[in-house]
Amino acid sequence: MNEEAESRIAAQPAKAMAMLCVWNSRLENTHAGIVPVTKTGDWSEVAVLDSGGHRIPWCDVSRIDDEEMRSLMRDAANRLYTFQARSTTSRMTSRAPSAVPTLPSRNCAAVISG
């Protein structure tokens, strides 16, 4: 198999995982909102004024806080776990349907939240 074919084959599950595990996840909550306008195209004229009166250049603004990042990572890990568990179960059931138990709905947050 040539490199182009291998790349094409590898791209299919990667795209499926991105669509099922990231799209419409908590990342969408972070993405939602009003996007500022830039006239220069490099965001150099855009700034945020915080409640302390500090003017923060847009390129220096943190757009996600620690709790939002933890939440996003937990959500992504849970979705990836579910994707992998269902994918593995699907492959196993196609080989020996009677030998594979049904997976309970499981959340791996307990594993990664520590």
Per-residue pLDDT 10s for the chain (114 aa) are 888 888 888 888 888 888 888 888 888 888 888 889 999 999 999 999 999 999 999 999 998 899 999 999 999 899 889 888 887 776 666 554 444 444 344 444 444 443
- The 8 Å CB, 24+ separation contacts for 65-69 are 68/26, 68/30
Q: Give the C-alpha separation, 81 to 112, whole Å.
A: 11
Taking residue 21's Cβ as centre, other Cβ atoms within 10 Å add up to 20
